[in-house]
Amino acid sequence: MFKKSLSLTTSYILVVVSVLILIGGLSSCKSKKKLAKEKVAAEYTARVQQAKKDLTAILNNTSPWPLKQQIKRVEVIKSYNIADPEVKGLITKAEEKLKSEQAVAARKAAEEKLRQAEARKQMSEQARFEHLNSIFKQIANAQSYADADDKINKALEIFATPEIPVLIIIAQSEGFNDYDRPTTIKKFLNYIKDMKSYDYRVDSIKKDVHGKITELELIKK
């Protein structure tokens, strides 16, 4: 009888322990789920706060990132699909701001490209006109008037006539030129002979069908 009672007691204890283990397991499972939810919530809150911080920095021009990285950051934040109304509003404002800055940057890049192309063109033209500039410098730096006159006579051979117009640019603004009083190539060559100085550079020339220069534009340095 005692053995039977002991057996029942042992069985009861085992059942109780099993129940306690089961309850503990369920409690532990619930605790893990709770922790997981809390972790997700914390991560979401941190992401929202970081998004607000980054978007505000972009809008206030205090972001350390260049324009391309700012655009990329906004795209990443937008991909989070954050439901927070403030974040949504900041995204809209940031997109509008960056779109405007992108347009300005594109315009500046196009202007710079055009400027560089114009600079290359001018350099190319200056190289093409260097021989003519060299002739004028030689006349200005001639050792004597006789030497200068000889150089002038040789130089005039590349012009259609000694009376072709020489236009001297004294100022340039927004694609327009201001000119000094026009002169002729013969008068100009004699002028630099007398002044013993050539402070100009060839800006453009026109030629006839025979390759002779019919018009010369100079610009004062």
State pLDDT tens for residues 121-165.
877 777 889 999 999 999 999 999 999 999 999 999 999 999 999
Q: What stretch of H or E contains 172?
A: strand 165-173
Residue 68 has pLDDT above 60, yes or no: yes
**What is the C-alpha to C-alpha distance for residues 185 and 183, in angstroms, rounded to an integer?**
7
**What local confidence, expressed as pLDDT, does residue 39 receive?**
84
Residue 21 has pLDDT above 80, yes or no: no
Report the range of poorest mean pLDDT among 16-20, 83-87, 156-160.
16-20
**Residue 219 is which amino acid?**
I
**What local confidence, expressed as pLDDT, does residue 121 receive?**
80
**In the block, residue with structure tokens 């089961």:** 22
Average pLDDT value for residue range 98-108: 95
Residue 25: pLDDT band with limits 50, 70, 90: low
Cα separation values, 81 from 42, 74, 84, Å = 16, 12, 9
Q: Which residues contact 179 (CB under 8 A, 6 or more apart)?
A: 167, 168, 169, 170
Cα separation values, 6 from 19, 167, 210, Å = 20, 128, 132
Q: What does pTM read for this prediction? A: 0.49
Classify 48 as helix, strand or coil: helix
Residue 14 has pLDDT above 60, yes or no: no
Better pLDDT: 41 or 15: 41
Nearest in space to 58 (alpha carbons), one of 88, 86, 91: 91
**What local confidence, expressed as pLDDT, does residue 207 receive?**
95
**In whole numbers, what is the pLDDT of the chain averaged over residues?**
87
Share of the chain above pLDDT 90, in %: 70
Average pLDDT value for residue range 179-199: 96
DSSP state of 71: H
Pairing label, strands 213-220, 165-173: parallel
Residue 97 has pLDDT above 60, yes or no: yes
**What is the C-alpha to C-alpha distance for residues 43 and 146, in angstroms, rounded to an integer?**
92
Name the packing angle between helices 67-79 and 85-140 (round to 10°).
Answer: 160
Average pLDDT value for residue range 24-51: 77
**What local confidence, expressed as pLDDT, does residue 205 receive?**
94
**What is the C-alpha to C-alpha distance for residues 63 and 55, in angstroms, rounded to an integer?**
9
Residue 23: pLDDT band with limits 50, 70, 90: low
Cα separation values, 48 from 45, 73, 122, Å = 5, 13, 54
Residue 12 has pLDDT above 70, yes or no: no
